[in-house]
Amino acid sequence: MIGLRFRHASTILYFILRWQVTGTGELLRDIMRHWSSGVSVVSASHQGQRQGMTVSSFTSLSLSPPLILIALARGKQTEVLAMQSGCLGVSILEADQQSLAARFADPASEGLDRFAGLETFTLATGSLLLTGCFAWLDCRIEETYQAGTHRLILARLADGGSQSAGRPLIYFDQSYGSFSAGGEPTSPKRYKGPDR
Ligand SMILES: Cc1cc2nc3c(=O)[nH]c(=O)nc-3n(C[C@H](O)[C@H](O)[C@H](O)COP(=O)(O)O)c2cc1C
């Protein structure tokens, strides 16, 4: 009992000290290592320029209207092109697409064309989507908010679809993995927004 109390006290003390030493940003980073997420590639293109980046801050926000939310670091090429074009594409990665996640998160390729040599397609808005992914969302940006170092983007689904089977790529504690659900694989879906 005394040992358990000591462990709890020392854990709390650790976090307080860490907070004091490194600031709450580092504490948030530490805590978020306990959060798992899916992995996507967000793309944007404008006037002949195109770029994409690996994004895990993606979630659905509303079904009616169909809205999604993502947060992009301000000043990244993808964020700039998305703001200029008013559109973006989201390709949700499959378990075996870890190399794509690494490619689109590589700091060395920020100014280069990360889509070079990859098979892509477009749906309603012209945003690039990666062939062979788990699911796709083609969106028009509705609202944006500046939030710290990032820009929160609310976007409306214009078109999209999903594959029938497969496993999603998962990011957890700075590593990639996958998740298998029981039961039957879902059937392929196709969504077309009201503006098509
Ligand atoms: C798994 C994973 C998820 C990421 N999620 C985001 C995100 O949601 N928003 C963001 O702005 N950057 C995110 N990043 C970082 C960008 O992918 C990365 O900053 C970008 O590709 C450009 O590289 P640079 O920051 O070195 O210029 C993520 C990176 C990884 C590996």
pLDDT tens digits, residue range 147-166?
999 999 999 999 999 987 78
Distance 55 CA to ligand 1 centre (A): 6
At 69-120, the pLDDT tens digits run 999 999 999 999 999 999 999 999 999 999 999 999 999 998 899 999 999 9
Q: Is 72 in the pocket of ligand 1 (CB under 6 A)?
A: yes
Band of the pLDDT at 4, cuts 50, 70, 90?
low
Q: Is 107 in the pocket of ligand 1 (CB under 6 A)?
A: yes
The predicted pLDDT at position 196 comes to 42
The predicted pLDDT at position 16 comes to 60
> Cis ω on the peptide bond leading into residue 185 (within 30° of 0)?
no
The C-alpha torsion from 159 through 99 and 71 to 126, rounded to 10°, is: -30
Q: To test ligand 1's pocket by mutation, which of 28, 29, 55 has the most ligand atoms within 8 angstroms of CB?
A: 55
**Residue 122: Cβ within 10 Å count:** 14
**Residue 31: Cβ within 10 Å count:** 11
The predicted pLDDT at position 166 comes to 84
Q: Is 135 in the pocket of ligand 1 (CB under 6 A)?
A: no
The predicted pLDDT at position 9 comes to 73
Q: What is the pTM of this model?
A: 0.86
Q: Calculate mean pLDDT across residues 42-65.
A: 97
Share of the chain above pLDDT 70, in %: 83
Q: How many angstroms separate the CA atoms of 194 and 90, rounded?
A: 19
Q: Calculate mean pLDDT across residues 160-178.
A: 92
Q: Calculate mean pLDDT across residues 21-45.
A: 89
Distance 80 CA to ligand 1 centre (A): 14
Distance 104 CA to ligand 1 centre (A): 8
